[in-house]
Amino acid sequence: MGNMQQHPQKPDGNGAVEQYDAIVIGAGVSGLYQLYRLREMGLSVRVFEDAGGVGGTWYWNRYPGCRFDSESETYGYSWSEELLQEWDWKEHFSGQPENERYLNFVADKFDLRKDIQLNSRVSAAVYDEDAHCWEVQIEGGQRARAQFLIGAVGVLSAKYMPPFEGIDSFKGLSFHTSNWPKEKVDFSGKRVGCVGTGATAVQLIPHVAEEAGHLTVFQRTPNYCAPCRNSEVSPETQAAWKARYAEIHKRCRETSVGFEHEFDPRSALEVSEEERLALYEKLWIQPGFTKWLGNFYDIMTNREANETFSEFVRNKIRERVHDPEVAEMLVPKDHPFGAKRIPLETHYYEAYNRDNVKLVDVRKAPIERITPKGVKTQDAEYELDAIIYATGFDVVTGPLTQIDIRGEGGQSFKDKWAGGPRTHLGIQTAGFPNFFIAASTAFCNYTVCAEMIVEWIADCIGYLREKKLSSIAPTQKAEDAWVEHSNELASYTLLTDTDSWFMGANIPGKARALLLYANTVPEYRKECQEAAANGYQDFVLQ
């Protein structure tokens, strides 16, 4: 085992199956920490990573403008005081290049690379019931076995490309934002088309608009976008963070959604209109998600309360876009604020005031096909030199169901999840022993929840080893109860009556189910802690 840990090269084609205690799929935020935790426990671990470097989302998404929409001081790992004191964030909402550097810094600082094998896509994983272990297959033929398999594949890693007819016929440049080239792409003087106006496009469009000869944006659904208000971190602020990191992370663990923001306990409808608008204006000038997560508590549960803020945001959009017709195209009218992910923007709406930017409503005139020259809608053909597909992801389920995972009796994970995620605690699925999902699907600041899940998995594996048990999986009864409980919580929110990726509605044919867990972070932590404290009584232990 020791030799294997020191030599992460691929085997020399002799067909030998490598043996480990645990295999982790993915070297992003969750995967790196999972490797660290398991290795600290003395396990032999191998991480298989599809990319050519560590970082997950922050490796692949290199498009111009890509950045955190969580405050940097709350997104970084909290588990190493030394790391917190050594790393300096340059911006309040850190950009992709810095985020990738940060995760590389972590990999180097904790000597994680020796147990990570890059350019290694896991294509299949099969559970051996007799041996109580998993065998994974890497594209190219390599195989490895381990008692424990952890899917740290993230929630935004399976890109979605709409099945446009003629997509391969286009003669110009084309990119999906989630697989952006490492080299700078030069759009100067070019006619560029951007398909999509979700969170990615909202970050990207102002940058491309400044550089391109002409930019045509193809929009199906407008979003409520809130100002990011990013700025550089002063030395004084950096020092203040370092002095109070313990307090910052304590606060994040205690609030509803893992940020330093907390909802106002009042109803939007119980205060006067004057007081309500005063709070909205105060929230609006603040950076980050304060507008969403520091608002009246019932804007996420009560349609009438929500409408008071939705209309406030619509008017903010109208104020910034000079052409009233274009402004109305950018104003969402078919869903409540917060029922879809709120993109944070910098100069997004101002991009539409430029002479070289055109907005096309593809709900009115759908895209019929991609042609050798560009994009053909029902109304016109737009000749382009480059097409950017900012068309999002097959969220939560996609990164796992695209791997051929087979559990007890050869059952397919993809089939099991065909109607939506089926788990207990979001972490394990009945019939798939020793397979853990280290990806946060709670409605929260990703890293805050991901750390908690990684720690729960590590503690669970530690428990099994201490008790000399060979496997763990939830009972079918516990899984059914969790799915029912999750759906019930979702029904109290405004998330379920909107077509969004939260509901899987961005993928044609995907089952409609809330893909995020709509409970508070403290409640979710409590549920996970109780499951362990009760001796894993809702699980089958062998």
Say what the pLDDT of residue 10 is: 44
Mean pLDDT of 229-245: 98
What pLDDT digit, counting tens, does each position of 71-86 carry?
999 999 999 999 999 9
495 shares a domain with 378:
no
pLDDT > 60? residue 444: yes
- Report pLDDT for 493: 79
Phi and psi (nearest 5°) for 389? -100, 100
Confidence of residue 7 (pLDDT cuts 50, 70, 90): very low
The average confidence (pLDDT) of the chain is: 92
- What pLDDT score was predicted for residue 6? 33
- SS3 category, 482: helix
Q: Are residues 204 and 350 in the same domain?
A: yes
Dihedral of alpha carbons 2, 19, 131, 425, sign: positive
Write down the pLDDT at residue 504.
Answer: 59
Mean pLDDT for the stretch of residues 2-23: 62
> Which is more confidently placed, 186 or 440?
186
Residue 154 is predicted with a pLDDT of 84
What's CA 302's distance to the chain center, in Å? 26
Work out the pLDDT band at 507, boundaries 50, 70, 90. low
Q: Distance between CA atoms of 514 and 497, rounded to whole angstroms? A: 10
* Within a domain: 501: yes
* Number of domains the chain contains: 3
**Angle, helices 303-320/273-284, rounded to nearest 10 degrees:** 50
Report helix, strand or coil for 219: strand
240 has a pLDDT exceeding 80: yes
Interval 154-185: pLDDT, tens:
877 777 788 999 999 999 999 999 999 999 99
Residue 134, in any domain of the structure: yes
- Regarding whether 10 and 153 lie in a shared domain, the answer is yes
Structure token digits, residue 214? 């002409």
- Banded pLDDT at 501 (limits 50, 70, 90): low
Could you read off the pLDDT of 246-261 as tens digits, one per residue?
999 999 999 988 899 9
CB atoms within 10 A of CB 394: 21
Regarding whether 185 and 166 lie in a shared domain, the answer is: yes
> Strand ranges (DSSP E) for 326-419?
344-345, 357-361, 367-370, 374-377, 381-383, 386-389, 404-406
Check whether residue 361 and residue 463 sit in a common domain: no
pLDDT in the model for residue 5: 34
Least confident span in 7-11, 343-347, 384-388, 528-532: 7-11
Short-list 30, 10, 11, 34, CA closest to 21: 34
465 and 526 in a single domain? The answer is: yes
> What is the pLDDT averaged over residues 513-538?
90
Is 91 domain-assigned?
no
The residue behind tokens 């951007």 is: 194
CATH of the domain at 153: 3.50.50.60
Domain that holds residue 348: 161-223+343-392
Radius of gyration of the chain (CA): 24
Q: What are the pLDDT digits (tens) for 47-67?
A: 999 999 999 999 999 999 999
Over residues 62-117, the pLDDT tens digits come to: 999 999 999 999 999 999 999 999 999 999 999 999 999 999 999 999 999 999 99
Burial class (CB in 10 A: 0-12, 13-18, 19+), 492: exposed
SS3 40: helix
Helix axes 235-254, 446-466, angle to 10 degrees: 60
> In angstroms, what CA-CA distances link 539 with 23, 113, 414, 476?
21, 34, 21, 9
Kindly indicate the confidence band of residue 244, based on its pLDDT and cuts at 50, 70 and 90.
very high
CA angle (299, 305, 307) in 5-degree steps: 95
Residue 381 shares a structural domain with residue 403: no
Query: Would you say residue 10 lies in a domain?
Result: yes
Confidence band, pLDDT 50/70/90 cuts, at residue 494: confident
